[in-house]
A and B are shown apart, each in its own frame.
Chain A
Amino acid sequence: MVRPAMSEEEHRPGPESDPSDDHQSFANAAWSIPSYVLSGMAVYGGIGWLLDHWLGTSALFPIGILVGLALALYLVYHRYGR
């Protein structure tokens, strides 16, 4: 019976946490995702496309897009997630 009380306690924001800070980082993260994701896919999709073009392969373009997507999400997580 202690657990629920404790988890409730954990969710209550402490007096030292500034709600405006939370608000800011959440809004920043939510609205910066599209440009980061587009950017990641453009950079690494672009590199993959160029390599495909030069090497005569066809798989590097989609791989680059996925890699860029993952890196962009990692970047958003690193900047705002913690």
Chain B
Amino acid sequence: MSAPHLLAAGGDEFEAPGLHIFDWGPLFSGGPSWLDWLTKPVLIVILAALALIVFAWRAFGNAQLVPRGVQNVGEVAYLFVRDQVARPMIGKDGDKWMGFLFTTFFFILFLNLSGVVPVLQLPATSHIAFPIVFAAFVYVTMLFLSIKHQGFIGYFKNMMFPPGLPKPLYVILAPIELLSNIILRPFTHSVRLFANMFAGHLLLAFFSTVAWWFLVEKLTPAGAGVGVVGFLMTIIMTGFEIFVQSLQAFIFTLLAASYIGGALHPEH
């Protein structure tokens, strides 16, 4: 489970894995330069996209009235996203957004889960570029829908001046609303996903490195106990990471739906 490449080369001291475990050069080093873009995170994104396409194809491509096999799984997944995310957050017209929300949830879920898939073992979303692109998609959609449904002035009015406050307070509170909605919301949206995946991957790498170092590389009677703890913690943290990865994919989709719902129905 532990990968020797996590350890810094040489040295007799245990060294905890640092930021270098996120640096991935071209997959085929020394290969042709036109293949330099193909790094491990990029490969994981391609695999996750293919997995999602195949899953959706098998589940919904030839839908039967009485579902069998993969279609059963697909329908449960669809109902989960529709009843837990789309309808509560957007309302009656939430079903129209199911294509977007279903894809978002499962694509991000697959990218997150690649952190515990053997051999891959890197959540692609621990590179902030990917969450930023997802959050940017949601942000642009949210801005477009808001201005389309509320008008340009109406959007800023609804956002910055929530009804029911004494007038002098608006001067104080409007800048907070503006900064929060326009600048910080996409920021927290992407950073929340990125930071969870980043920290989780570091933790897993740390405990598995401890286990590898003290049980395999430098096995001593005194260090074996530490190694066993590291080994057990690796197993526990793997289970915990699966939970966090699923939760963060869900939260990202939930927030995307919440922003879209807020754009369509500003009164909420």
Contacts and interface: CB of A to CB of B under 8 A. Distances in A.
A20 B180 contact: no
Interface string A43-82: 1000000000000000000000000100110110011000
A74 B89 CA distance: 23
B87 to A, nearest CB: 7
A interface SS class:
helix
A36 to B, nearest CB: 5
Interface string B147-187: 00000000000000010110000001101110111011101
B268 interface: yes
Interface stretch (B23-31, B62-70, B120-128, B250-258): B250-258
B179 A43 contact: yes
Contacts of A71: 172-173, 176
Contacts of B255: 31
Contacts of A20: 87-88
Interface string B211-255: 000000000000000000000000000000000000000010011
B interface SS class:
helix
B141 interface: no
Place the interface of chain B in its size category. 20 to 34
A39 B88 contact: no
B138 to A, nearest CB: 13
B72 interface: no
Place the interface of chain A in its size category. 20 to 34
A79 B89 contact: no
B179 A42 contact: yes
Contacts of A24: 88-89, 258, 261, 268
A23 B251 contact: no
A60 B184 CA distance: 23
Nearest to B180: A39
Interface string A1-36: 000000000000000000010011101100110111
A35 B188 contact: yes
Given A31-B258, A78-B164, A78-B165, A36 B268 contact: no
Nearest to A82: B164
A55 to B, nearest CB: 20
B234 to A, nearest CB: 30
Interface in B126-142: none
Nearest to A23: B88
A47 B180 CA distance: 16
Contact of B187 (A35, A36, A40, A74): A35
Nearest to A35: B184
25 contacts: A20-B88, A23-B88, A24-B88, A24-B258, A24-B261, A24-B268, A27-B88, A27-B258, A28-B262, A31-B258, A32-B185, A35-B185, A35-B187, A36-B176, A39-B176, A39-B183, A40-B180, A42-B179, A43-B179, A71-B172, A72-B176, A72-B180, A74-B173, A75-B173, A78-B164
- Top 7 A-B residue pairs of the complex, sorted by shortest distance between their CB atoms: A39-B180, A35-B184, A39-B179, A35-B188, A35-B180, A20-B88, A43-B175
